[in-house]
Structure 1
Amino acid sequence: MPPGAKHRGSLYFSWGYNRDWYSRSDIRFQNQKTDNYDFTFVNAHASDHPSMSEFWKFSSLTIPQYDATLGYLFNDKHDLGIEVSWNHLKYVVDDNQIIHVRGNVRGRYIDKDTLVTPDFVHLQHTNGNNYLMVNLVKRYKLAVGKHLQLSAIGKIGGGPMISYTISTIFGSHQEGPFHYHGWVVGTSAGLKLDIYKYFFLQGDVQGAFADYTNTWIGADKVGRVTHVFTSAQAIYAFGFNVPL
């Protein structure tokens, strides 16, 4: 850099993969237009679906649970930045679990523990449980060497969920499409190792609160699913810096 020139900051891009854990949640199913049900799964359990067996193939990079981030560090005295992240998580309500079901099921009131099979209901956000977030980024430099720099990274942000749901209810199956499902807010903390200024490795732990308000269910897309849950996400990523 010429004498007197000012470092304007740096762009960065990262790509990585994640594992996810979810809180139990109450899931409400409603359709009183083309069917007759309004019931809730109480305290349902869900799991992730990492699908990592073929992630090393270029054609399969987006099949596992992945994270893509584009950001900018301002190089200001506060070491702040802003980024846009796409977190592709997967959320599967476990089949064949015993769930307390409460509400109206085709004219019959139910309020009891029930074995929930895929013939009754199957629900998964696996293409996926997608968080599109705008984050404020804070960097704390921990150690600076000639070719390596270790930093702590904190983030907070939120945005819409552009998700893709696969579902079956009373034998009526539906897949997708991608659309707006609700909103998410989250925060994360991690470590970033910069290598020769242009490359980095990063690991983060993220906590988020997701509110599904607009999920369709059933082949006619008239039924609706609503639920809220919290998620924990462990992310490992690599990336590139572009100093400006």
Structure 2
Amino acid sequence: MRLILILAITALFVQNSTAQAPNPLNTNEDFHRFYFYGGWNSGTYSKSDITFSGVDYDFLLENVVAKDRQTPFSIDQYINPKNITIPQYNFRIGYFIKKNWDISFGIDHMKYVMQADQTVKITGEIANSNTPYDGSYANEAIKLTEDFLKFEHTDGLNYVNVALRRSQELLDFNKIKVNTVLGAGISVLYPRTNTTLLSRERNDEFHLSGFGLDGTVGLNVTFFDGFFIQSELKGGYINMPDITTTKSDLDKASQDFFFGQGNITFGAIIKIKK
């Protein structure tokens, strides 16, 4: 998160110092300019306190560790259109509202996997589960074995977001231009959560679970004013107060955490005459 902040400040300084330079992504006022890109991400998450509540239980797990889940690289998994949604991917479409400002809509398909067999602190009560975990807990240690809890947003931690971004030319090599990108966004979280809690049947449905805020700093290399490669560092905050866990509508979980994301994307710019 500190690295993202440093890069964001650096990008802002570069943009301000070159404020008079033309923006190569939108130089012709006779055209509407749209863009789209797709690519992949790698994510990291802060520790999170997670609350689970239902008819027969109400407990808190503290400082739970989670990681992302990368799909092993292969042409079939990453390039084949049938499998394109399996890896952790990013998709975005945007429109330039001014020469160097754009508004965009995107989906960041991340994956959040609670680390199995970690030991955390638990506070609360579990009753009538017909498992060895029935009882009252007061800041006690517990091992998160699979028969107690499996908790994943793996299909996925879907970050559906709108962003406002500013791009600024940094270097111009005629047919190749290098630009900085700086932006901020808001999101809703629409995960498909894979949870097995106390051996109860899991709920495997997409569900609107919360919101997020984010900031992005990136480097864009544009070729022939039409195609580009863009790398990004993105970080933010996610709050999900309504996560589905089991088939019962009375069972739910809640958590909030910070995230970091490294993205590599490939895209195109579309010009439409006004």
Q: Which residue of 2 aligns with 1:91?
A: 112
Q: Which residue of 2 aligns with 1:158?
A: 186
> Which amino acid in 2 is paired with 1:90?
K
Q: Which residue of 1 aligns with 2:49?
A: 26
Q: Which residue of 1 aligns with 2:260?
A: 232
Residue 95 of structure 1, CA deviation: 1.0
- Cα distance in structure 2, aligned partners of 1:242 and 1:153: 18
Give 2:86's match in structure 1, choosing from 46, 59, 63: 63
SS in 2 for 1:63: coil
> Which amino acid in 2 is paired with 1:125?
H
SS in 1 for 2:220: strand
Residue 75 of structure 1, CA deviation: 4.0
Q: Contact 1:8–1:74 at 8 Å: present in 2 too? A: no
Alignment of 1:59-208 (within 5 A): 59-76=82-99, 79-106=100-127, 108-111=135-138, 112-208=140-236
- Cα distance in structure 2, aligned partners of 1:219 and 1:95: 22
> Which amino acid in 1 is paired with 2:246?
G
> Which amino acid in 1 is paired with 2:63?
N
Q: Contact 1:210–1:228 at 8 Å: present in 2 too? A: yes
Name the structure where helix makes up a greater proportion of residues.
2
Residue 74 of structure 1, CA deviation: 2.9
Q: Which residue of 1 aligns with 2:66?
A: 46
Taking structure 1 as the reference length, the TM-score comes to 0.92
Q: Contact 1:127–1:163 at 8 Å: present in 2 too? A: yes
Q: Contact 1:148–1:193 at 8 Å: present in 2 too? A: yes
- Alpha-carbon RMSD across the aligned residues, in angstroms, is 1.4
SS in 1 for 2:248: coil
Measured against aligned partners, the alpha-carbon deviations of 1:76-127 in whole angstroms (never above 9, x if no partner) come to 3xx1110001000000111111111111121621131111111101110011
Residue 140 of structure 1, CA deviation: 1.4
Taking structure 2 as the reference length, the TM-score comes to 0.83
> Which amino acid in 2 is paired with 1:155?
G
- Cα distance in structure 1, aligned partners of 2:81 and 2:43: 23
- Cα distance in structure 1, aligned partners of 2:46 and 2:147: 24
Calculate percent identity across the aligned residue pairs: 24
- Cα distance in structure 1, aligned partners of 2:142 and 2:190: 31
> Which amino acid in 2 is paired with 1:122?
K
Name the structure where strand makes up a greater proportion of residues.
1
Measured against aligned partners, the alpha-carbon deviations of 1:10-32 in whole angstroms (never above 9, x if no partner) come to 10010000000000010000002
SS in 1 for 2:78: coil
Runs of 4+ residues over 2 Å off in structure 1 = 5-9, 219-222
Q: Which runs of 5+ in 1 are unaligned?
A: none
Q: Contact 1:8–1:75 at 8 Å: present in 2 too? A: no
Q: Which residue of 1 aligns with 2:3?
A: none
Q: Contact 1:174–1:221 at 8 Å: present in 2 too? A: no
> Which amino acid in 2 is paired with 1:213?
P
